[in-house]
Structure 1
Amino acid sequence: MKSLKKFMAGELSRVKKIVKKELKPNGTIVNDKSFELFNSGGKKLRPMFTILAGKLGDEAHYDNVLKTGASLELLHMATLVHDDIIDDSELRRGKPTVFYEHGYFQAVNTGNYLLSSALQVVSKIDNPMFHETYAAGIREIVQGELIQFDTQFDASQTMDDYFRKIYRKTALLIVLSIELGGHAAKLDSETIKKLSSYGYHIGMSFQIIDDCLDFTGSTKTLGKPNFADIKNGHYTLPVLLLRDSDPEFKAMLEEYSVTKENPDALIDCILQSDAVDRALEVSTEHIEKAEAEIVNIDDPVRHYLTEIAGMLKNRRN
């Protein structure tokens, strides 16, 4: 069987053509920076999931699946631009963010332009459930940004707060990619449900690993400064696990949440503990649950979804 990369190459190329047509540079900052962000890399996971779901349906609907994949990539890019504003991020994929290079207003405009482009691509798909699902998903993504504000520098936030936050931050967009791909391909509801559950667990695992890499990765491999989450008051799973098991660290975290001084002491505690390893165990549990959801999905789709899960198990950058 072909590798995932070779299997997806043709379809992803078609998705890229749709995106590039929408973002063709024309001398305006929003177009040029949007196009630059798209070309700067990224794993293109969201359209990949959309395409894999679409492969289970009738080929007659496949053009709509490709448009959906392009739309989800545009939506993902919009969330990245807005996240960089919220997190005051200097780098994205190793390059200056729109926010740092051109300021707040141009960054907001670029994010909004990407969002409107995402909706334009799929505007002619004739499927009420598709558009209902998409609209509800975007609303929930925005709610996730508000939750991120509410829990910033909150040392008393619960594990449930954290999991709700990363669902809306990452897992939701993966679930949405699969669901919309399923609706575009007119799959049956039971298949969409299983695929969506797979996407939920993959998305949760993906974000937990990202949160761990913020401690163990490097600026070069991550494309952005490490330790950014804790410095910005976003307390991720390693932090919360250590908080709940180490009273001394909990006291330090509570003090830091008030003073916002000396994050290095907290970072040292995390790195000297087993908190990252324990967080990665939670990630692995999600991967195993994801694999269990697709045992009855037809090949080659099941094979490639399983391969993605396996890649996630070994992800270290």
Structure 2
Amino acid sequence: MTSVTSLFAPVEADLQVLTENLKKLVGARHPILYAAAEHLFGAGGKRVRPAIVLLVSRAIMLDRDITPRHRRLAEITEMIHTASLVHDDVVDESSMRRGLPTVHSRFGNAVAVLAGDFLFAQSSWYLANLDNLEVVKLLSEVIKDFAEGEIQQGLNRFDTSLSIEAYLEKSYYKTASLIANSGKAAGVLSGVDRTLVDNLYGYGRHIGLAFQIVDDILDFTGSTEELGKPAGSDLKSGNLTAPTLFALEENPLLEALIEGEFSEDGDLEEAIAIINQSQGIPRSRELATHHAHLAVEHLASLQPSDSRQALIDMADYVLKRLY
């Protein structure tokens, strides 16, 4: 399987600079906020989102170097993503993230909420300094989408009538919007034509959906060590994802277990067993594959390059995380 490190080879040096810059960009004067930022940006994340921004930028620029504004956009993208994770962990009461204690479990809820707000505010300030109104609008919409997705997820807990379409909409808000709009923003900063800008958005939208669907499958098939959190966490909290929604079409007992919110001992384990024995996971794999293929189709108008190939290989990497 292609490793994420080799996948990002065309932008490896760019990502090293980005990692060094992130802590400086936070610039928190308060030691607790700075400690929270150091904890977050030193947590060894894969940096998938800024890597996609950098790959898109290099795939467009080709024989020219990317500009400081492209680099700053990638940094802003990672700051926004990290801010959303901090808030998500508070809402979900998660104690672990990437195998390390979450900000709220280490520093308390109040600091975690404020650290997330601070990162959103800092990213917005740097975003405004790009001096491109369309890019400001694109990334501001992402922050709005995060909130919309979190609200939808909260309102739909244990709702067995949730449709696959509603699940995909929530997945777009929570995951794909950032990848789609930051990729589109890279195109806007590069001054490419609108067709290509729209295709970059389409790539990000579909690769983001594939990524989220695969994550949701791994919540059932992955180990606690791989996931950095207990397997089955989403189901336990009432967050119904693709494998569960497909399995609900087959087994009425699953509906009763979910609507009872796993109140009896063994209910959660029984529900997980039902999902694993159903067509829920194979059908979810098909859905992820569909979106990964759509993502690649949106790259057809880019000229061949190592960066374009890495974006294509990203779709393969996303799916192979399942095996």
SS of 2:191's partner is coil
Aligned to 1:311: 317
CA-to-partner distance for each residue in 1:166-202, whole Å, 9 max, x for gaps?
1111111111220122222222211111111111110
- Whether 1:254 and 2:278 are equivalent positions in the alignment is no
Aligned to 2:75: 70
Contact 1:68 1:184 (C-alpha < 8 Å) held by counterparts: no
SS of 1:245's partner is coil
Aligned to 1:7: 10
Could you tell me which runs of 5 or more consecutive residues in structure 1 were left unpaired when the two chains were aligned: none
Q: Quick one: which of 10, 16, 30 aligns to 2:33?
A: 30
Over 3 Å counting, the alpha-carbon distance change for 1:282 and 1:60 in structure 2 is closer
> Per-residue deviation at 1:24?
5.6
Q: Quick one: which of 180, 204, 214 aligns to 1:209?
A: 214
Q: Quick one: which of 122, 132, 146 aligns to 2:137?
A: 132
- Whether 1:175 and 2:149 are equivalent positions in the alignment is no
CA-to-partner distance for each residue in 1:129-158, whole Å, 9 max, x for gaps?
111222222212211111111111212222
Contact 1:172 1:200 (C-alpha < 8 Å) held by counterparts: yes
Over 3 Å counting, the alpha-carbon distance change for 1:193 and 1:264 in structure 2 is same
Contact 2:238 2:261 (C-alpha < 8 Å) held by counterparts: no
> Per-residue deviation at 1:22?
1.6
> Per-residue deviation at 1:18?
2.3
> Per-residue deviation at 1:250?
2.4
How far apart in 2 are the matches of 1:3 and 1:92?
A: 24
Aligned to 1:43: 46
Aligned-pair identity (%): 31
How far apart in 1 are the matches of 2:314 and 2:91?
A: 30
How far apart in 2 are the matches of 1:155 and 1:88?
A: 22
Contact 1:204 1:286 (C-alpha < 8 Å) held by counterparts: yes
Aligned length: 315
Q: Letter of the aligned partner of 1:312 in structure 2?
A: V
Q: Letter of the aligned partner of 2:319 in structure 1?
A: K
- Whether 1:87 and 2:95 are equivalent positions in the alignment is no
> Per-residue deviation at 1:249?
2.2
Aligned to 2:277: 272
Contact 2:184 2:200 (C-alpha < 8 Å) held by counterparts: yes
Q: Which moved more, 1:179-188 or 1:66-75?
A: 179-188
How far apart in 2 are the matches of 1:179 and 1:104?
A: 34
How far apart in 2 are the matches of 1:138 and 1:187?
A: 25
Q: Which moved more, 1:123-132 or 1:21-30?
A: 21-30
TM-score by length of 2: 0.91
After TM superposition, the structure 1 = structure 2 runs for residues 50-69 of structure 1, keeping only pairs within 5 Å, are: 50-55=53-58, 56-57=60-61, 59=64, 62-69=67-74
Contact 2:214 2:319 (C-alpha < 8 Å) held by counterparts: no
C-alpha RMSD of matched pairs (Å): 2.1
Q: Letter of the aligned partner of 1:29 in structure 2?
A: I
Aligned to 1:234: 239
> Per-residue deviation at 1:61?
6.3
